[in-house]
Structure 1
Amino acid sequence: MNPNQTVQYLTIDSEQAGQRLDNWLTTRLKGVPKGKIYRIIRKGEVRVNKARVKPEYRVVAGDIVRVPPVRVSQTTPKAQPHQKVLQDLEQSILYEDSQFLVLNKPSGLAVHGGSGISYGVIEGLRKLRPNIKSLELVHRLDRDTSGCLLVAKRRSMLRYLHEIIREGHIDKIYQAVVLGRWSKRRKQISAPLRKNEPRAGERIVKVDPEGKQALTEFEVIQYYPELTLVQAKPITGRTHQIRVHTQYAGHPIVGDEKYGDFAVNRQLKSKGFNRLCLHAAQLIFELPDGTLFNIEAPLPESIQQTLAQL
């Protein structure tokens, strides 16, 4: 019998503890729309330890959750990552143990499906690792950004990594090819950022005095004719932070179709710059046992070769 057709009383274990109730239910009730999940919580059909709770309630180990029978409408099966994508993902894994993995994410692949995207990295990894119950993104990278992406394999590790990110104890170091000659004296950019939603629904981030504080540290790696390879270390974690801060400095990232110089991008495409030249090059953080974890993803060969030709 389909478990969605009978009342279930499920006990939260230590791995599930800390999740929001709505997210926990979404995982349990595969295929049930989010709206329906909120509805059954609001009506009191979902109960925790016999009491009504709100969707944002965070479940605790030992909680007993009443899950009512829910009818799932037949939907068209989602597109699955094809074999070539899965092979590329497998080959892109830089590090893996029982707690987490680090992927060198290819440019052009979204981290997850949604908004017209059938699938992304996380759907592909779940296909590659079907026996892992909890495989979750620790952070995100823009679709066109390549490089180090951290994925937790256990809820306890996900909670730990989220906590040290909140406390600013993970160093994320990027490399970017920017237009012009970046001054070696320009070591940082501090400019508040604010998200705006234009008419088309596409999110744009702008420097705005009323925005949230944002700080990025920069260092010149190498100069090229009319371009500079820089290292960027975001101290805060705002959406599109490096892309907007480089634009604000007058040195937008090569190949940036949202914040870049569109005319120059077109010219540089003929020289081989056919992607956003932003790469998550390094992650440094302390593991729960106190060991320092430091991993690097080299600048993609396509960018290195194009720079070498200059």
Structure 2
Amino acid sequence: MSPTAANPPDIGPRLLYRDALLLVIDKPAGLPVHPGPKGGETLTDHLDALRFGLPRRPEVVHRLDRDTSGCLALGRHAKALARLNRLFATKEAEKVYWALVEGGPAADKGSIDLALARRSDDPRSWWMKADPEGDPALTHWRVLGRSPDATWLELRPVTGRTHQLRVHCAAMGFPIRGDAIYGSGSRVGGPGLQLHARKLTLPLYPKKPPVVAEAPVPGHMRAGLAECGLAEGTA
């Protein structure tokens, strides 16, 4: 369910990982990360509750779309943000998404290598399109399950372009279910965008194993994934 002013999300219990540098939370679908031109509640409104004794609130390291749920990393102070930003800039941060797409690819795994550009010159527009003159964008995908009319995909973006996974899947003929921009979904009365940031792996400490955080399957995706073979009881 999307958060509303009358039913705000409680971010504290959605904490997946915490140490001196890093927090990883399970962002709920429907909650924007940053303030937009239309105003309204955002994740920023809840960050003070995640200080855990530090004088400043944590800051978001990377983006998740408003309607995408799952793992989101936050740096707890300036030095942590600098170190985490380097991991994402050098592609050392590994992101794994789960998506339920309409139809699906015939093969069981593959890659999508399509450059992306803005649809409009308007700097306020975030809508994207496949464009050979755009910025390089690469996504690896693997089929995790199928139903008669949908496919459960694991998506691993190598680059981090705006709406990359949504545009790539739509361009290949299997849009993400519930996508109101690039597919046939609707934000009103529909199942919501079926895209979830399932796992985040961050090699943050040179002499320690990578930090791994995994977000549980969100309620709005569970039924569709179960039809594709998600095991009962999967967290």
TM-score by length of 2: 0.85
The RMSD of aligned alpha carbons is 2.4
Q: Identify unmatched segments of 5+ residues in structure 2.
A: 229-235
SS of 2:30's equivalent? coil
**1:301 equivalent in alignment to 2:219:** yes
CA deviations 1:65-87 (Å, max 9, x no partner) are xxxxxxxxxxxxxxxx969535x
Cα distance, 1:247–1:176 mapped onto 2, change above 3 Å? same
Answer 1 or 2: higher relative contact order, Cα 8 Å, separation at least 6: 2
Partner of 1:100: 22
Cα distance, 1:128–1:190 mapped onto 2, change above 3 Å? closer
Structure of larger gyration radius: 1
Q: How many residues align?
A: 222
Q: Distance in 1 between matches of 2:36 and 2:224?
A: 32
Partner of 2:148: 225
Partner of 2:94: 171
SS of 1:219's equivalent? strand
Q: Distance in 1 between matches of 2:34 and 2:155?
A: 25
Q: Identify unmatched segments of 5+ residues in structure 1.
A: 1-80
* Per-residue deviation, 1:305: 2.4
CA deviations 1:143-191 (Å, max 9, x no partner) are 0000000011111111001011111100001010001032235510001
TM-score by length of 1: 0.66
Runs (4 or more) in structure 1 with deviation over 6 Å come to: none
* Per-residue deviation, 1:227: 0.1
Cα distance, 1:224–1:128 mapped onto 2, change above 3 Å? same
CA deviations 1:277-299 (Å, max 9, x no partner) are 00000011212243211111122
* Per-residue deviation, 1:198: 6.8
Contact 1:219 1:232 in 2 (8 A): yes
Q: Distance in 2 between matches of 1:192 and 1:201?
A: 20
**1:188 equivalent in alignment to 2:114:** no
* Per-residue deviation, 1:121: 1.2
Identity of aligned residues (%): 35
* Per-residue deviation, 1:134: 4.6
Q: Distance in 2 between matches of 1:207 and 1:241?
A: 9
Please tell me the residue identity of whatever aligns with 2:22. F
* Per-residue deviation, 1:125: 1.7
**1:135 equivalent in alignment to 2:58:** yes
**1:215 equivalent in alignment to 2:138:** yes
**1:275 equivalent in alignment to 2:192:** yes
Contact 1:112 1:123 in 2 (8 A): no
**1:89 equivalent in alignment to 2:89:** no
CA deviations 1:234-258 (Å, max 9, x no partner) are 0111110000000010000000000
Partner of 2:41: 119
Partner of 1:66: none
Q: Which structure carries more helix by proportion?
A: 1
* Per-residue deviation, 1:301: 2.7
Q: Distance in 2 between matches of 1:165 and 1:307?
A: 29
